[in-house]
Structure formats: structure tokens, C-alpha cells
Amino acid sequence: MNLQHKNTSIFYTDEGHGEAIVLLHGFLENSTIWDPFINDLSKKHRILCIDLLGHGQTECMGYIHTMEMMAEAVHAVLTHLNIKACTVIGHSMGGYVALALTEKYPNNVNGLLLVNSTSQKDSKERKQNRDRAIAAVKHDHRTFIRIAIANLFNPENKTQFSKAIEQITHEALKTPLQGIVAALEGMKIRPDRTKILKHFNCKKVIFISEKDPVLDYKSLIKEAKTAKLEIVEFPDGHMSFIENEAFFFLNLMHFIEK
């Protein structure tokens, strides 16, 4: 389904009945990453999957998509569907958006799960890496996408999950150049939201992967303990919902039903 928000078409799916659960994908992904889990999740819950700005079937809104802009688009869907409160689950960039949503609309969020994500802002080095990524995207975005997706996995898993990498890459290649750059620019300037996470008093959990090539394991453990988050650890890379699918789903259901 599509919703017009500030002259921009926002794509979302809405399945099942019960407590509203919002699933937000990461950078270069789209709502299809949640497909393996929708049938089971929607048996007892209302599951909303939203394509973030410039990703999937959602249009671009500008040349910088801030996490706040993305959160406003998510909130527009919630308002349209008359959903007053929901549990939000965000993978990577989707976690950044979930935190922005929690800060801007605290009364609408009653549960928060960060999947391979962080409340910390980009370090100076990370910002420089994003600038290099933007340059690479503008030079050859298709090659950038292929390399970027493969590098999200634990190197030891690349052969085992070659078909999954191919599928994720296929979907990522649909992401327009403008959407990729706008998201990189938006992530680069996002503020630190560690205090938002710490003072969030509803259920909150973080999924952390030991061999995540994107986020530092030890830093995330420290962040989680400071924010008094429940921690679930996975043994592999940034794509825990693929690399550790069964264990991921088990803990996803435990979080939702607690």
C-alpha cells in the first residue's frame, strides 16, 4: 500500500491483527528482508513493514534523508492507520530511525528492539568513511552495492549464504542513486541518542553480533549496559536475521511476547 506524505509516496504493508509491531529495514535494504518472518508474526500481531525514504518502493524526498525525516514518514503511516502505540524493531539504519521516532513521538512507542544498530552518533572516522562511500556511490553505485552487501556478513559465511547475498544485492540494486547518497548523508549527521535510549522506560532490547564488521562489539556491549538494555548476542555478522535466522526468530518472538 502507498501513502502520500509531503508529496512523497511511502510504501508499507499491513498484515494481521493485535498489538502493532513496526519493522524497519537497514541501509540498502527494503521491507522484503522481513518476509521470512511475516506469516508467523502476523498470527497474533499486526505487522507493519515500511520502506524508508529512497528505499524499496518509497520515493526520495530530497538529497539528504535525515533520520528525523524518515521517522516522520513512519509516523505518518501510523497516523494514517490510527495506530496510537506500537513496538518498533529496527535493523541497522532502521534502528537509527526507531530511536528518532522514539525521541520525537515518545508516546507512540511502547517497545524498542535495536538489531545490529546503535544509539551512538558517527565517529569522525565513520563520517570520513561515509564521505568515501558517497564518492564511490557517485562513481559506480552498482559496484558499491555489490561490495557493501557482501561486506555485511561474517567473512566465514559468504560461501554458505551466497544465495542470500545474491538476493539482498538484487533488491539493493533497485535503490536509486539519490536514495543511497541521501541516506548516507542523513546517517552521517545523525545526533547521539544514547540518552534517549537510556531514559526509555518501556521494554528495550539490543541484538549484538560478535563478528559484526560494521559495529564494534565491545563498544555495543558497553553502550547496552549503560542504557540498561537487555542484550542478546549472536555469533556472526551484521545480518543476524539471515546468518542466525532460527536463533534470531526465537529471540524476536521472545521480545515481542514479553
pLDDT band at 218 (very low <50, low <70, confident <90, very high): very high
Residue 112 has pLDDT above 90, yes or no: yes
Mean pLDDT of 123-150: 98
Percentage of the chain with pLDDT > 70?
A: 100
Closest CA to 71 of 131, 112, 39, 35: 112
User: Do residues 114 and 98 touch, judged by C-beta distance below 8 A?
Assistant: yes
Report pLDDT digits (tens) over 225-248: 999 999 999 999 999 999 999 999
pLDDT of residue 81: 98
Please give the span between the terminal C-alpha atoms of the chain, in angstroms, as a whole number.
30
pLDDT of residue 42 exceeding 90:
yes
**Dihedral over Cα of 240, 244, 248, 251: its sign:** negative
> Taking 90 as the threshold, does the pLDDT of residue 25 lie above it?
yes
- 146 pLDDT more than 90: yes
Neighbours of 13 (CB within 10 A): 17
d(CA 71, CA 75): 6
What's the pLDDT at 76?
98
Question: Tell me, what's the pLDDT at 256?
Answer: 97
Q: Please compute the mean of the pLDDT values over residues 56-76 and round it to a whole number.
A: 98
Length of the chain counted residue by residue: 258
Helix (H, G, I), strand (E, B) or coil at 233: strand
Q: Can you list the domains of the chain with their CATH numbers?
A: 2-257 (3.40.50.1820)
Q: What is the pLDDT of residue 258?
A: 85
pLDDT band for position 201 (cuts 50, 70, 90): very high
Q: Are 66 and 189 in contact (CB under 8 A)?
A: yes
pLDDT digits (tens, 9 = 90+) for 155-187: 999 999 999 999 999 999 999 999 999 999 999
